[in-house]
Amino acid sequence: MSVNADWKPRIVAFCCNWCSYAGADLAGSSRLAYPADVKIIREPCSCRVNPMFILKAFERGADGVILCGCHPGDCHYSTGNYYTRRRMALLFSMLDYIGVERGRTRVEWVSAAEGAKFSRVMNDFVAQIRELGENVKVGDLRCKE
Amino acid sequence: MQPGVVFAQDYQYMCSEAGQNIIKDAIKTHGLTGVVVCSCSPRMHEATFRKAAAQAGLNPFMVEIANIREHCSWIHKDKEEGTEKACVLMRAAVAKVTLNAPLKAGESKVVKRALVIGGGIAGIQTALDIADAGFPVDIVEKNATIGGRMAQLDKTFPTLDCSSCILTPKMVEAKANENIRLITYAEVEEVSGFVGSFKAKIRKKARFVKEDVCTGCGVCMSKCPSKKGLNEFNMGLNNRSAIYIPFAQAIPNVAVIDKEQCIKLKTGKCGLCQKVCTAGAIDYTQQDEFIEEEYGAIVMATGFRPIDASKFDEYSYSTCKDVVTSLELERIMNAAGPTGGVLLRPSDGKHPHSIVFIQCVGSRDVSGRGKPYCSKICCMYTAKHAMLIRDKYPDVEVHVFYIDVRTPGKNFDEFYRRAAEQYDVDYIKGQVGKVYEENGQLVVRGVDLISNEQIVLNADMVVLATAIEPDPTARKVANMLTASIDTNDFITEAHPKLRPVESPTAGIFLSGVCQGPKDIPETVSQAGAAASKVIGLLAKDKLTTNPCVAHSDELLCNGCSCCEKVCPYSAISYETKLINDHGVKETRRVAMVNEALCQGCGACTVVCPSGAMDLKGFSNKQIMAEVDAICL
Ligand SMILES: Cc1cc2nc3c(=O)[nH]c(=O)nc-3n(C[C@H](O)[C@H](O)[C@H](O)COP(=O)(O)OP(=O)(O)OC[C@H]3O[C@@H](n4cnc5c(N)ncnc54)[C@H](O)[C@@H]3O)c2cc1C
Ligand code: SF4
Ligand code: SF4
């Protein structure tokens, strides 16, 4: 657990415009609360999210990153989330390698109709990040002693 | 205040007229180059605020929304925490907007003409609806006549009206409509371009009969000495002459010569038809013709065929003449068919007394021999066949082997129950293991799954409700149109629920069974839906394209082709051009995005190993600026 009592997790949620962002909107209009630590960035498609964005987020100090897209088979662009799925599988093993706990990154499929799921997922993810505590910033080790 | 921000104002109803005026005034008085609205979801009012900005002279894409309602105030009870988050969201939007670039929605022209590939009921209906709205349409049909499979059917469920009685008027209408051009005995060979302006090259095969001269009198057919061609229209149950009109109501009602069968074309001798044709329509020297035309929209309506029943040895289709497919039975029952509509079995022309139907032949078959899907129409047409036979020939015993009877649809279950209850059709839940001939008698062996008993039935005829599969040309056509196609060769819709008649490729629409198994009512409604989408497109004078499209930096691109492979819309192509790389002039192969095709998913941006591909409106820098603002 974190030593810093004031610590609040910084969580970046990348959401695709067509499903998950709309799912988050539905969670909002249904007043299904989740912690304010989650901040959403809108993307056209989950496949727009370059794994580099996630690495960079960890470098900048994010404690958790979650990527949400349409359910496989339901992608607005038909195949986008299949790419996402594969890329993220690779990213997971890389994060593992560089020592970022597996639990800090997550992929979830949330449709526009799943406001309740969105809220549940976020509650769960934030709880998990709180459990893991503050992240050690992923640093760029080049040119350092 | 956040760096870059020169003016901030709060107002309760920003989306109202008054709120919008505040934005417009601020843009003018402060000479703003960007606007952030902290409000409800951009999915609600992004368009409203962009429009307001445009009215004040600011590029509409210089507006960003911070969603502080759905994503913040509505879900966070703790006011302090909520306000803190709202500030972060605002900061992220400001960080993004400072990196926004003015974007201009591109424009592309719309050629006001549609192409329909396939002239079955789907293609005909789509074309009629488009033509009625005042737009010219070409139907390209590979056969010598339009009509498709429906022309081969006898009666149609669930109303039992005669198929040609309802189809022929539509065929005639398609011929008579001045907005419709029928290009029969033809196939599309090449398609290029994109939504609004496709170019197609169509090969019109030589008929060896002048289409505009032939009167359809049919004298040639009776005189032609080469009479051993299989009559495709009658599913090969009888023969036709080398020169033929597919069926009496064919449209166009024009003869065609089968060049593989014609003695004159093969050996140079004969020429009888030319001698007897008083109209002088025969031309043995006719060549294939090519038609090139531009289209704003293309509809695929290539339909289906029944699968080959001989793959299923256990039913002895290839060895026993009296084992027929359902489509063959349609022809046998049809007054214009090979038996004049009298139910006679093919082997000896005798009246059958017992008929066994086997459903799901090759459907719902995961063994790999058949199709994994349900063909959807077979339960209903088998009930139709059973009922029609029992009605006309009450002496005939009818048994139906089924796995499940699936009859969802208006009046469908009632229809099936009528067959089972009113017409005493013997429905047996079970599978048939073998059909064989024993001393000149067809025997059907199966299991009744309800009583768990072996069943052995003597039958005079066996009818196989064979699965339907997409026309074998479907894949080729789909590839030509860059329309996606599934593993069963059915064309994929843009969205299975919300965009069922559009292909993911803009400007390509789907009509009829080429998209998935369906009956006539469903085909016709889908055909109308596809037409209305086409009309909506052709009614536009210009198409505005989504400006948030991919763009590759020529200086960084190494021409590796990675991006092309992931693009679901085939929007990326390559061009070899002279690049001025900081004074060094070099000819290189670089990626080019066609902005009319790109839908802006961003898949290519991630796959690009050289960092050349970026997405306008959601650029790497913009997204990273948001990440930074959040993680600050
Ligand atoms: C035995 C049987 C009985 C049936 N009974 C009924 C019934 O009672 N009631 C009912 O509602 N439905 C019935 N159906 C279903 C009905 O036949 C279909 O719903 C209907 O024919 C679908 O029309 P379509 O235009 O999509 O396809 P099709 O009728 O197959 O038409 C497609 C057309 O496209 C042409 N084509 C294909 N590829 C190309 C190409 N590359 N270039 C140019 N042209 C091409 C074909 O030649 C054909 O003319 C039955 C089907 C079967 C097999
Ligand atoms: S953004 Fe998507 S649609 Fe556009 S070129 Fe890239 S992969 Fe194709
Ligand atoms: S992936 Fe990148 S480098 Fe490769 S061709 Fe496309 S834009 Fe050029």
| Closest residue by Cα to residue B12 from B22, B4, B2 | B22
| Structure confidence at residue A3 (pLDDT) | 58
Please choose from B555, B556, B562 the residue to mutate so as to test ligand 3's pocket, defined by most ligand atoms within 8 A of CB: B562
Span B237-266, pLDDT tens digits = 999 999 999 999 999 999 999 999 999 999
Query: Across-strand partners of B428?
Result: B401
b/e sequence B128-147, b meaning 16+ C-beta within 10 Å: bbbbebebbbbbbbbbbbbb
Pick the residue from chain A with its C-alpha nearest to B506.
Answer: A77
pLDDT at position A1, please? 47
State whether B71 and A24 contact (CB < 8 Å). yes
Q: Is residue A26 part of a domain?
A: no
B490 alpha carbon, closest ligand: 1
Q: Measured between alpha carbons, how far is residue B329 from residues B334, B346, B381, B470, B626 in Å?
A: 8, 10, 11, 21, 67
Tokens linked to B515: 């998209």
**A44 near A16, Cβ under 8 Å?**
yes
Residues of B in contact with A17 (CB under 8 A): 43
pLDDT at B499: 86
Residue of A nearest to B497 (CA): A74
CA-based nearest residue to B606, from A20, A11, A80 = A80
- pLDDT given for residue B321 in this prediction: 96
* H helix runs in B303-398, sequence order: 326-333, 378-392
Q: How far is A136 from chain B (nearest CA, A)?
A: 13
Q: Give the integer Cα–Cα distance in Å for B324 and B316.
A: 10
Residue nearest to atom 7 of ligand 2 (CA): B567
pLDDT tens digit string along B257-291? 999 999 999 999 999 999 999 999 999 999 999 99
pLDDT of residue A144: 56
Q: What angle do CA B608, B609, B615 make, to 5 degrees?
A: 30
* Strand B243-244 to B239-240 pairing: unpaired
Q: Residue B2: is its pLDDT beyond 80?
A: no
Give the pLDDT confidence score for residue B581 in this predicted structure. Answer: 86
- Residue B507: C-alpha distances to residues A73, B31, B186, B196, B612 (Å): 22, 40, 22, 7, 28
> Does position A140 have pLDDT exceeding 80, yes or no?
no
CATH number corresponding to B114-303+470-538: 3.50.50.60
CATH of B307-469, one of 1.20.120.1200, 1.10.599.10, 3.40.50.620, 3.50.50.60: 3.50.50.60
The residue ranges of DSSP E strands in B264-375, in sequence order, are 289-295, 297-300, 304-306, 323-325, 354-361
Evaluate whether residue A116 is within a structural domain.
yes
Is the confidence at residue A145, as pLDDT, over 60?
no
Ranges of each domain in chain B: 17-97, 114-303+470-538, 307-469, 550-616
For residue B3, is pLDDT > 90? Answer: no
Percent of the residues in chain B that have a pLDDT greater than 70, as a whole number: 100
Question: What is the enclosing helix (H) or strand (E) of B527?
Answer: helix B520-538
Average pLDDT over residues B457-469: 98
* Å between B53 CA and nearest CA of chain A: 21
Kindly report, residue by residue over B485-498, the tens digit of the pLDDT: 888 999 988 777 78
**pLDDT at position B502:** 94
Q: In terms of Cα–Cα distance, which of B129, B183, B191 is closest to B534?
A: B129
Please state the rounded mean pLDDT for residues B409-429.
96
The answer to whether B434 and B319 are in contact (CB under 8 A) is no
**What pLDDT, on the 0 to 100 scale, is given for residue A142?**
62
User: From start to end of B373-477, where are the E strands?
Assistant: 397-402, 426-429, 432-438, 441-448, 453-459, 461-466, 468-470
pLDDT at A141: 60
Per-residue confidence at B484, pLDDT binned at 50, 70, 90?
A: confident
Cβ atoms B287, B207 nearer than 8 A: no
Distance of alpha carbon B301 from alpha carbon B297, whole angstroms: 13
- The CA distances from residue A46 to A79, B43, B570, B606, in Å, are 10, 17, 19, 11
| Distance between CA atoms of residues B427 and B407, nearest Å | 14
For residue B465, pLDDT beyond 60: yes
Alpha helices (runs of H) in B5-65, residue ranges in sequence order:
17-30, 42-55
Helix (H, G, I), strand (E, B) or coil at B566: helix
Contact A47 B70 (CB under 8 A): no
User: Is residue B420 lining ligand 2, measured as CB closer than 6 Å?
Assistant: no
Domain count, chain A: 1
Contact B72 A22 (CB under 8 A): no
Q: Global pTM?
A: 0.77
Closest by CA to B463, choosing from B355, B363, B362, B371, is B355
The residue-averaged pLDDT of B205-229 equals: 96
User: What's the whole-number mean pLDDT along residues B202-231?
Assistant: 96
* 3-state secondary structure (DSSP) of residue B559: coil
Residue B323 pLDDT greater than 90, yes or no: yes
Among chain A residues, the shortest Cα distance to B624 is held by A53
Long-range CB pairs of B152-155 (<8 Å, 24+ gap) are: B152/B233, B152/B235, B152/B327, B152/B330, B152/B331, B152/B334, B153/B330, B153/B334, B154/B330, B154/B331, B154/B333, B154/B334, B154/B335, B154/B337, B154/B341, B154/B388, B155/B333, B155/B384, B155/B388
What value does the mean pLDDT take over residues B102-118?
94
Residue A133 has pLDDT above 60, yes or no: yes
Q: Is the CB of B246 under 6 A from ligand 1?
A: no
For the stretch B549-597, pLDDT in tens is 999 999 999 999 999 999 988 899 999 999 988 888 999 999 999 988 8
Q: Kindly tell me if the per-residue pLDDT of A2 is higher than 50.
A: no
What own/partner pairs with CB < 8 Å and gap ≥ 24 does B577-580 have? Answer: B579/B554, B579/B555
The pLDDT assigned to B495 comes to 75
Put simply, whether A68 touches B (Cβ < 8 Å) is no
Please, what sign has the CA dihedral across residues B170, B176, B179, B185? positive
- Provide the pLDDT confidence category of residue B194 given band limits of 50, 70 and 90: confident
Coil/strand/helix, residue B569:
coil
Same fold, B114-303+470-538 and B307-469: yes
From the list A96, A109, A13, the residue with the least C-alpha distance to B75 is A13
Q: The domain containing residue A108 runs over which residues?
A: 38-132
Q: How far is B321 from chain A (nearest CA, A)?
A: 44
pLDDT value at position B395? 97
CA of A61 to the centre of ligand 2 (A): 31
pLDDT in tens, A14-55: 999 988 999 999 999 999 999 999 999 999 999 999 999 999
- What is the pLDDT at residue B568? 87
Q: Mean of the per-residue pLDDT values for chain B?
A: 95
Has residue B449 got a pLDDT over 60? yes
Chain A, window 34-63: residues with a beta carbon less than 8 angstroms from a chain B beta carbon = 34, 36, 39-45, 47-51, 53, 56-57, 60-62
Measuring from atom 2 of ligand 2, which residue has the nearest CA? Answer: B601
SS (H, E, C) B187-213: EEEEEEEECCEEEEEEEECCCCECCCC
Lowest-pLDDT range of A70-74, A119-123, B302-306: A70-74
Whether B472 contacts B305, CB under 8 Å:
yes
Fold of the domain spanning B550-616: Alpha-Beta Plaits (3.30.70)
Query: Could you report the predicted ipTM of this complex, rounded to two decimals?
Result: 0.94
**Secondary structure (3-state) at A108:** strand
With CA atoms as reference, the chain A residue closest to B96 would be A41
Portion of chain B with pLDDT greater than 90, in percent: 90
